[in-house]
Amino acid sequence: MRKFSTLIISGCVAVYLQACSVVQATNSPSAKDLSVLDTGTNRFSVLAELGQPVASETDKDGNTVDVFSFIQGQHGAVKAGKGLLYGALAVGTLGVSEIVTSPLEGTAGNGAKMQVQVNYDGDNKVSKVNTLKDGRWIPVQNIAGK
């Protein structure tokens, strides 16, 4: 009876722990399409993808300058792949892998903070992009102007 109780408790703990890194991986922020920062893109397309700027002002020539701050997440296929890998590891190790994968996903899987300054021309089209902060470990998608 004692072995059966231990087995049931171990199974419950494994199922509970399994959900942690898998759920974190699949619920992490999605990737923004940084191609909207290409020269010539309309300002409204930039706003639609990156959201409202944290600061917006007019330069000496009367053109708009926006500063955006956002979290650059991961593409859906990457999130799904990580979720499947973490799930397989958790099942294969009876949940022991969660000791490593859950904190790893909690820190590295939350996306990277990015800040960009976008200058527009007189027609409200992107003319220049200045990267203020790029916290990505591996920049999969280039930012215009870099």
Q: Does 102 score more than 90 pLDDT?
A: no
Does residue 94 contact residue 10 with C-beta atoms inside 8 Å?
yes
pLDDT digits over 39-62, tens only?
A: 999 999 999 999 999 999 999 999
What's the mean pLDDT in 66-87? Answer: 84
Q: pTM (2 decimals)?
A: 0.70
Map tokens 């999969």 to a residue.
Answer: 140
- pLDDT tens across 1-36, in order? 677 667 666 655 555 544 587 777 677 788 899 999
Question: In this structure, which amino acid lies at residue 82?
Answer: K
Q: What is the Cα–Cα distance from 25 to 76, expressed in whole angstroms?
A: 10
Residue 27: which residues within 8 A CB-CB, separation 6 or more?
A: none
CA neighbor of 109 nearest in space, from 1, 28, 14, 49: 28
